[in-house]
Structure 1
Amino acid sequence: MQSLIILIDTAISIYIWILIASAILSWLVAFNIINTRNRFVYAVGDFLYRITEPALRPIRRILPNLGGIDLSPVVLILLLVFIRNLLWEYGV
């Protein structure tokens, strides 16, 4: 049973890092530091968008509009950390 918990914990940790990478890439694109006309940047951005958007979309519908500030990755990371802690508390 502990091997399954470690696998789920690792998957959650990887997804948290993917969320952080997606947020940083969106900032870099928004401030014109990197250009999405570059094929590699576009491919990475598209991959990160496709991986994170299904989880972020329901949270964005619930959160109020704060202008240009998107807090949905922060909320999702907090939820994932909470789930990971619950897994270790009740799974072992």
Structure 2
Amino acid sequence: MAPLINFVFFIVGSLLGLLKWAIIISAIISWLVAFDVINLRNHVVYSISRFLDAVTAPLLAPLRRVIPPLGGVDLSPIILILVIIGIENFLLPPLHGTLLRILG
């Protein structure tokens, strides 16, 4: 049972890591579009932007309702990344250890 638990926690940790990168890349693309460095008329840029928006928008929307933009700067991606890091560092390790003791 322990290898299965380890595998599940590996997958969860990897998905959380990918989500952090998706949030960071989405923010960078939005800045590059805002400063007219890249253009959404480019099909590749548009496709990447739409994909990242589809992945991150459902998670950022509740935070955006609670946290207003400060001076036009959206802080919700930073808050979401901090929440993900908190989950990775403070929730997953104790949960992993507990499940290993109970089921392993």
TM-score range, shorter chain: over 0.9
Cα deviation digits, residues 22-48 of structure 1 (max 9, x gap): 000000000000011111111111111
The reply to whether residue 15 of structure 1 matches residue 19 of structure 2 is yes
User: Structure 1 CA distance, aligned partners of 2:51 and 2:11?
Assistant: 22
User: Structure 2 CA distance, aligned partners of 1:11 and 1:43?
Assistant: 21
Q: What corresponds to 2:93 in structure 1?
A: 88
Unmatched segments (≥5 aa) in structure 1: none
Cα drift, residue 65 of structure 1: 3.3
The reply to whether residue 50 of structure 1 matches residue 50 of structure 2 is no
**Displaced runs of 4+ in structure 1, greater than 2 A?**
none
CA RMSD of aligned residues (A): 1.0
When structure 1 is superposed on structure 2, of 82-91 and 72-81 the one drifting more is 82-91
Cα drift, residue 89 of structure 1: 2.7
Unmatched segments (≥5 aa) in structure 2: 98-104
User: Structure 2 CA distance, aligned partners of 1:28 and 1:65?
Assistant: 18
Cα drift, residue 90 of structure 1: 2.8
Task: Using the aligned pairs only, state the percent identity.
Answer: 43
Q: State the one-letter code of the partner of 2:12.
A: I
Q: Which protein shows a greater Rg?
A: 2
Q: What corresponds to 2:102 in structure 1?
A: none
Q: TM-score, normalised by structure 2?
A: 0.84
Cα drift, residue 6 of structure 1: 1.1
User: Structure 2 CA distance, aligned partners of 1:90 and 1:46?
Assistant: 34
- Secondary structure, in 3 states, of the residue corresponding to 2:72? coil
